[in-house]
Structure 1
Amino acid sequence: MDTILKRSTAFHPQIDGQTKVVNQTMIHLLRGYNSKHPKTWDESLPYLQFAFNRAIQGSTLKSPFEQRYKARHNKHHVPCNFKEGDLVWLHLEKERLIGEGKKLKSIHYGRFKILKQIGDNAFQLELPPYMPMYSVINAENLKLFEPSLLDDDLDEDTFLPSVDDLKIE
């Protein structure tokens, strides 16, 4: 939904229809909620904002909260095209690496075998025993392992991090 809200001020009230409806709705909510104590209207704004954002809208049949965060979730969703037995690269965050020159160390390590799928977006990997991390990894941190055509005779430990590269927690 590519909507653009126009900001307004008291001296230049040029706003779009959507903002006008939201403002009217908030005024109605404030009147109903603060009818007995009108001077404390500012204290109730967070509660009314939450109520408005959780209310289902008639035009979309969804709440504003659901629309906003579902779109954000879908934007970052990684399609899972992995299956059990696949070999994958594992992306390690820089915080897991230690030692001199950690900024220049590789952050992708691999050939890790997928043992099983857990849920929609997580996989259990066969990690070496010296890697101090949980073996269930989100698909966002995995990439299908595709060896280079030039690397015919790679030994199995070529792309694995060393014990000196990782934090042991």
Structure 2
Amino acid sequence: MVNTQLKFSSAYHPQTDGQTEVVNRSLGNLLRSLVGENVRSWDFKLSQAEFAHNHAVNRSTGFSPFQVVYSVLPRGHLDLLPVPSKTRWHGKAEDFVRGLQEIHQSVKDNLQKVADKYKQYTDRKKRHVEFEVGDFVWAVLTKDRFPVGDYNKLSVRKIGPVEVLEKINPNAYRLKLSSHIRTADVFNVKHLVPYYGDTSDDDNSMVNSVHPEENDEVQELACKFLEKYDGKI
């Protein structure tokens, strides 16, 4: 009646479900507050932490997990103080499903608004660039691309210029790497910087920079330093 669907993930790999990781982290924070110095008593506080988590209103959805699943909030300790009425009216199944569907629609709308907000914020910092086969680029080497024991914080992080051999998709490119570079030849576009033809020796000395804009910042800081301490050193 409520169109419930099961979504399976691979076994022994909870990282595939990001929401599970978020819930586990939230429960861990709750348990840390409840147990205090009695760390080994966490299992006695687990039901209390679970109820508190399911009863709290989520900032993104605007509803608590109890409302999303059951369309109503369970009675808490304060709600149970008065004597419950025996003449309490219970709604029909159709009313329950209708109310649940309305809550689910509101949750989807709220999540879409939050997602649009985060996307708008992220797009401000995103640079859109595409390359074609035959173009030359600088390739940024991340820490995981270095062989074990070869990585150093002062190592050159940018190699190139290298030629683009294949455009797999707008986000992935295959490069023509030198034989001495022992890493995969497929790079994400965020790790590629356009190469604008011949450069001077001064430009080549700054290949450690991750973004081309950093070179201008370094030069500006150097000029300010020289102006301030000119004649004093």
Greater Rg over alpha carbons, structure: 2
Q: Which of the pair has the greater relative contact order for Cα pairs under 8 Å at 6+ separation?
A: 1
TM-score (norm 2): 0.38
Would you tell me which structure has more helix in proportion to its own residues? 2
